[in-house]
Amino acid sequence: MQRLRWISAGLLASSLVLTSCTSGPAGVNAKQDSTSPLELWTRTKPGGPGEQGTLKLAKAFEKATGYKVKVTAIFDDFETKLQQRAAQRNLPDIVMNDVTQLGAMHSQGLLREIDLDKVKNGKNLIGQSLDSGKSVDGKQYALPYSAQASALLIRKDWRQKLKLGVPQSWADFAAMAKDFTTKDPDGNGKQDTAGLAAPLSTKRGYASWYFSNFLWAAGGDFITESGKGKYKPAMTSKASVEAMQWFRDLGCQAKAVQPGSVTMDTPPTNETFEAGKAGMYVVGPYMLPRFDESLGKDKYEVVPMPKGPKDATVLAEGGSVYLMAGSENQAGQDAFADYAVSEPGQKTGMEGDTGFVVQLPVNKTVNISQVRPDPRWKTYSEVYQGSGRYAPSIPNWTPVRQATADTVNALMADCSLNIATKLADLDKQLAGILKEQGIAAS
């Protein structure tokens, strides 16, 4: 029999989203049954390795706790299907989805607050991972189970051929990018290589997503918090402007970014790197298995990003466990969240060469080298813990990322555009977005 899930927020018929709950955790009135099977949705391709990894994690959880879990993998139109279930007041019990979805799901009233007193392993979470699960009101609405951060992949054979050291500064980075572009590092007698592979398409905000690794290291920002969950635009700050100028110079002056970057999202950019058309790529650890097979493990190396004008801050991302409102088995929800971030849960999620659901552990008691002895994974883990930064959990990060991607893309595509003018226009647009979300600083 289909179970009815009552959501304490009202339903907006025009958009099929739920209003934010302000009178307490949603779903508190649902009749509880700790024997009820848990319905878990995961945002991954059905039949793919991600689904297999989730099934393995669910099976281990069932064995450890006795709770039953039904896993459903959905990739296409995930958010739309979730809204349809919300309209039916029949949400799944648990959702495993990107950490960036926190603001949207919380503002729609789809989540219940997580009581960390009922998640004993929460105390072992790495600081920034736990904080990434907090909404703008400071309450915990998600628990990260997997993390990733950006590091720098370099064609090691090219670097050694040109007798270059591992870049330690932005000056080193720019010099290597230029040499990889102009000094025939692959030895084919042609100038047909680029220094940097960069996905700078506007699609899904890729240009902004990639640029964040440079913006933050320069001390710049897209938006900055001014206290009590309020934000203001920051793309016209001195540090942001200088970061944009430096990055643009790589493309417009040094011609060191791969041709066509402004039309590329990640799939063609991945192909650019593995085909030997670019010598550096800033990307997460999820590409290692693919590049090991396609390019060869001996051909490239993984190193931390060099220090920028401020530091070496890079984008951190990952997946979170969301406990959905209206569940009739909140005890089971809490138990799954606790297991997913526990040492055995994290290790189970990390097992295998492919199909693992945990990229980097978020539990500080887990030694990644014991599960994955490959030292490159340890490098990624150290980068995440030391330099990783998540996007803020505002009600909806997507329009901020898209607006900034549109501007970064335009500036990289047209070298005649004035940076100061375009960034001033962007800040006006961001101000409107923040106002619409009710989080604009006065």
- Per-residue model confidence as pLDDT tens for the chain (442 residues): 333 333 333 333 223 343 333 333 344 578 999 999 999 999 999 999 999 999 999 999 999 999 999 999 999 999 999 999 999 999 999 999 999 999 999 999 999 999 999 999 999 999 999 999 999 889 999 999 999 999 999 999 999 999 999 999 999 999 999 999 999 999 999 999 999 999 999 999 999 999 999 999 999 999 999 988 899 999 999 999 999 999 999 999 999 999 999 999 999 999 999 999 999 999 999 999 999 999 999 999 999 999 999 999 999 999 999 999 999 999 999 999 999 999 999 999 999 877 799 999 999 999 999 999 999 999 999 999 999 999 999 999 999 999 999 999 999 999 999 999 999 999 999 999 999 999 999 8
Residues 228 and 107 in one domain: no
Quick check: helix, strand or coil at residue 64? helix
Q: Hey, which bits of 3-93 come out as E strands?
A: 11-12, 17-18, 38-43, 69-74
Quick check: helix, strand or coil at residue 422? helix
Residues 403 and 255 in one domain: yes
**CA 336, 359, 92: angle at the middle one, nearest 5?**
35
Contact of 111 with 323, CB cutoff 8 Å: yes
Instruction: Give the amino acid at 251.
Output: G
Residues 132 and 241 in one domain: no
CA distance 278 to 178: 11
Does an H or E element contain 65, and which? helix 49-65
Contact of 276 with 294, CB cutoff 8 Å: no
Query: Where does residue 128 rank: exposed (0-12), middle (13-18), buried (19+ CB within 10 A)?
Result: middle
Residue 321 CA neighbour count, 13 Å, CB half = 32
The helix, strand and coil proportions of the chain, stated in percent and rounded to the nearest 5, come to 45, 20, 40
Residues 40 and 69 in one domain: yes
Residues 385 and 410 in one domain: no
Instruction: Give the amino acid at 27.
Output: G
Quick check: helix, strand or coil at residue 393? coil
Residues 15 and 144 in one domain: yes
Residues 207 and 175 in one domain: yes
Contact of 32 with 328, CB cutoff 8 Å: yes
Residues 295 and 324 in one domain: no
Identify the residue whose tokens are 């050291």: 165
**Residue 5 counted as domain residue:** no
Count of Cβ atoms closer than 10 Å to residue 87 Cβ? 16
**Residue 442 counted as domain residue:** no
CA distance 346 to 357: 9
Say if strands 300-303 and 388-389 run parallel, antiparallel, or are unpaired: unpaired
**Residue 42 counted as domain residue:** yes
Predicted TM-score of the model (pTM) = 0.91
Q: Which two tokens stand for residue 263?
A: 């039309």
**Residue 441 counted as domain residue:** no
Q: Residue 352's pLDDT is what?
A: 82
End-to-end alpha carbon distance in the chain: 50
Which residue range forms the structural domain that includes residue 363? 11-148+316-389
CA distance 124 to 130: 9
Quick check: helix, strand or coil at residue 132? coil
**Residue 419 counted as domain residue:** yes
**Residue 203 counted as domain residue:** yes
Q: Which two tokens stand for residue 414?
A: 């047209």
**Residue 2 counted as domain residue:** no
Does an H or E element contain 314, and which? strand 314-323
Residues 215 and 355 in one domain: no
CA distance 181 to 193: 5
DSSP 28: T
Residue ranges of the alpha helices (H) in 78-232?
78-87, 102-107, 127-131, 156-161, 170-182, 206-215
Domain of residue 140, CATH code: 3.40.190.10
Which residues sit opposite 73 in a β-bridge?
A: 42
Residues 23 and 124 in one domain: yes
Residue 198 CA neighbour count, 13 Å, CB half = 30
Residues 272 and 358 in one domain: no
Number of domains in the chain: 2
**Residue 3 counted as domain residue:** no
Quick check: helix, strand or coil at residue 97? strand
Residues 250 and 335 in one domain: no
